[in-house]
């Protein structure tokens, strides 16, 4: 009998799975055994600082260990952290901590057998071919940025061929590039190739020119074929964890690949999808892009992680956590608060429970997950397990395809950030940018309003100033960028960096 093992290969201390092949096998063999796992989003409050995590990965790992201890076949799909950020930073990677850790965090943190690197090399090769196309007179402007796997703010704006033609270019972090988005959203290598062919390389006399017009697609797909596969690793307690896709849901989509989540659902009963930074970033992208526009499964429940201090100690920002919980509940996603305690905070539990009750939350799950791992959670999961066990599979949600882009952004501002229509502001030049994007799309034979919307923003804020009173909060729209291959329209808003390229700290 064919099983997932036939699609699995060892790569050092992790395994990699030919997920495209496995899903194709299931499709071709409708009677082959499979599960129909339900999806749980683990998301969080909007962070006070991007660099200070509440412990979403730690929570995710503790949660699957706890569910498995209760006899439930649970797994998680994590995104690979950015190696450059991990190496440059002080806090280590994104593979949990303490008793809620992966067995081999070092392999997730340090390159994962070349997956992100293959995407980086392929995207940079596309830029090289775009330059060649300029030399050959096929295009006169390049619209795709180079990428870097390590942060370096000086790369946000560069001039290449310096001293001669002095061409202005941009460099963005690898996980935020269009090719990464294509990898996240595609369900076969052929689809990756087709989407690369539709990427707009640049313009010639103002008209869009796609890569399909001048690049042999094997050059790109061959680079990706071996490296771009979900990795399988496990927690220190032996629970399976898949890793595929990249971070930065604030400035890109930043969710696990659809194929890795769908494969996990075919293999397990409960699949945790980690969606950060906050609910306004990763969860918004999972719901409004992956589910509404790309056919991913609507979550059956959510866990909204926070820290004891974040929840209480900053009154100006205290509105955000209940706002996120309410939003998920309104979308028919049972949202369970989870407070990840740090050392010395155990005595705050009664007060945290009182606050939760006052805010009319579900009974919160509270524990020091670094110290206790899943052991601290298992006994608190009755209501959560009940929801997962007794709910029916959630229905598909309506798509926004065809909704005018600006209306779509206003819908997100109202629903995901709590800012009504009349306080969505346009920065000078924004409408010009929308007009240019509309023209570019129609000349490429697509409609801007058919593209899924990617809100590009700071991870630490939803509005121009989250500390302002509720009736004064605004969202300012800055510019639009078309990713025709990925099928996305990116809109920069509030305090977003136009080019997400952090400085080393």
Is residue 154 within the footprint of a second copy (CB under 8 A)? yes
- Side-chain-side CA neighbours of residue 185 (13 Å): 29
Is residue 193 within the footprint of a second copy (CB under 8 A)? no
CB atoms within 10 A of CB 261: 26
Is residue 117 within the footprint of a second copy (CB under 8 A)? yes
For residue 197, count CB atoms less than 10 angstroms from its CB and return exposed for 0-12, middle for 13-18, buried for 19 or more.
middle
Is residue 164 within the footprint of a second copy (CB under 8 A)? yes
Minimum Å gap between C-beta 158 and a second copy is 5
- Are the C-beta atoms of 261 and 19 separated by less than 8 Å? no
Show the 3-state SS of 128-140: HHHHHHHHCCCCC
Is residue 161 within the footprint of a second copy (CB under 8 A)? yes
**Whose Cβ is closer to a second copy: residue 220's or residue 303's?**
220
**Whose Cβ is closer to a second copy: residue 12's or residue 206's?**
12
In the list 66, 112, 434, 482, the residue contacting a second copy (rule: CB under 8 A) is 112
Region of 164-172, 329-337, 347-355, 418-426 interacting with a second copy (CB under 8 A): 164-172
In the list 54, 115, 288, 481, the residue contacting a second copy (rule: CB under 8 A) is 115
Omega cis (within 30) before 277: yes
In the list 23, 66, 121, 305, the residue contacting a second copy (rule: CB under 8 A) is 121
The 3-state DSSP class for residue 322 equals helix
Is residue 225 within the footprint of a second copy (CB under 8 A)? yes
**Whose Cβ is closer to a second copy: residue 14's or residue 440's?**
14
Is residue 234 within the footprint of a second copy (CB under 8 A)? no
Is residue 223 within the footprint of a second copy (CB under 8 A)? yes
- Which residue, among 467, 429, 435, has the nearest Cα to 448 in the 3D structure? 435
Residue 208, beta-bridge partner list: 203
User: Residue 107 is inside which H or E element, if any?
Assistant: helix 105-109
Region of 149-157, 280-288, 375-383, 407-415 interacting with a second copy (CB under 8 A): 149-157
Burial 327-358 (b: 16+ CB within 10 A, else e): bbeebebbbbbbbbbeeebeebeeebeebbee
| Total residues interacting with a second copy, rule: CB under 8 A | 62
Residues 15-44 that bind a second copy (CB under 8 A): 16
Minimum Å gap between C-beta 233 and a second copy is 13
Virtual torsion, Cα 45, 51, 52, 54, nearest 10 deg: 50
In the list 84, 247, 282, 364, the residue contacting a second copy (rule: CB under 8 A) is 84
Region of 125-133, 182-190, 426-434, 479-487 interacting with a second copy (CB under 8 A): 125-133
426: alpha, beta or left? (left if phi > 0; alpha if psi -120 to 50): beta
Minimum Å gap between C-beta 215 and a second copy is 10
- Are the C-beta atoms of 248 and 50 separated by less than 8 Å? no
The 3-state DSSP class for residue 145 equals coil
Is residue 149 within the footprint of a second copy (CB under 8 A)? yes
Is residue 131 within the footprint of a second copy (CB under 8 A)? yes
Interacting residue ranges for a second copy, rule: CB under 8 A: 9-13, 16, 83-84, 87-88, 106-107, 109-115, 117-118, 120-122, 124-125, 127-129, 131-132, 135, 148-168, 219-220, 222-223, 225-227, 503-504
């Amino acid at each position: 009998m064919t099983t997932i093992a036939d699609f699995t290969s060892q790569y050092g201390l992790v395994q990699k799975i030919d997920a495209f092949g496995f899903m194709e096998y299931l499709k071709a063999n409708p009677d082959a055994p499979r599960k129909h796992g339900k999806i749980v989003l683990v998301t969080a409050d909007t962070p006070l600082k991007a660099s200070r995590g509440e412990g979403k990965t730690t929570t995710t790992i503790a949660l699957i260990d706890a569910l498995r201890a209760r006899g439930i076949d649970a797994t998680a799909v994590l995104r690979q952290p950015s190696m450059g950020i991990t190496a440059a930073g002080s806090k280590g990677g994104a593979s949990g901590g303490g008793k809620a850790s992966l067995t081999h965090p070092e392999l997730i943190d340090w390159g994962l057998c070349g997956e992100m690197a293959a995407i980086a090399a392929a995207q940079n090769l596309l830029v090289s071919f775009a330059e060649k196309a300029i030399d050959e007179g096929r295009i006169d402007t390049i619209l795709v940025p180079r990428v870097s796997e390590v942060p370096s703010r000086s790369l946000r704006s560069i001039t290449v061929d310096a001293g001669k033609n002095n061409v202005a270019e941009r460099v963005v972090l690898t996980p935020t590039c269009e090719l990464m988005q294509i990898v996240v959203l595609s369900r076969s290598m052929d689809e990756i190739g087709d989407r690369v062919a539709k990427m707009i390389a640049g313009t010639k006399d103002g008209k869009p020119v796609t890569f399909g017009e001048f690049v042999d697609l094997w050059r790109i797909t061959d680079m990706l074929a071996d490296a771009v596969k979900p990795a399988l690793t496990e927690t220190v307690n032996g629970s399976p964890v898949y890793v595929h896709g990249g971070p930065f849901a604030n400035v890109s989509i930043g969710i696990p690949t659809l194929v890795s989540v769908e494969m996990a659902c075919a293999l397990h009963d409960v699949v945790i999808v980690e969606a950060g930074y906050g609910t306004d970033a990763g969860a918004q992208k999972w719901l409004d892009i992956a589910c509404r526009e790309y056919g991913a499964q609507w979550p059956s429940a959510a866990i909204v992680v926070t820290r004891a201090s974040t929840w209480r100690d900053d009154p100006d920002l205290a509105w955000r956590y209940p706002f996120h919980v309410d939003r998920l509940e309104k979308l028919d996603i049972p949202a369970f608060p989870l407070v990840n305690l740090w050392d010395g905070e155990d005595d705050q539990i009664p007060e945290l429970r009182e606050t939760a009750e006052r805010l009319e939350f579900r009974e919160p799950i509270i524990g020091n997950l670094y110290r206790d791992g899943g052991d601290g959670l298992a006994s608190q999961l009755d209501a959560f397990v009940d929801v997962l066990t007794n709910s029916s599979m959630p229905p598909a949600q309506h798509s926004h395809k065809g909704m005018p882009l600006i209306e779509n952004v206003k819908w997100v501002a109202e629903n995901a950030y709590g800012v009504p229509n009349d306080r969505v502001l346009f920065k000078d030049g924004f409408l010009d940018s929308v007009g240019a994007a509309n023209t570019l799309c129609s000349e490429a034979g697509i409609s801007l309003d058919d593209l899924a919307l990617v809100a590009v923003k700071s991870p630490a804020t939803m509005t121009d100033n989250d500390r302002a009173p509720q009736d004064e909060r605004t969202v300012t729209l800055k510019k639009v960028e078309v990713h025709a291959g990925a099928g996305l329209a990116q809109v920069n808003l509030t305090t977003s960096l136009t080019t997400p390229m952090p400085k080393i700290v």
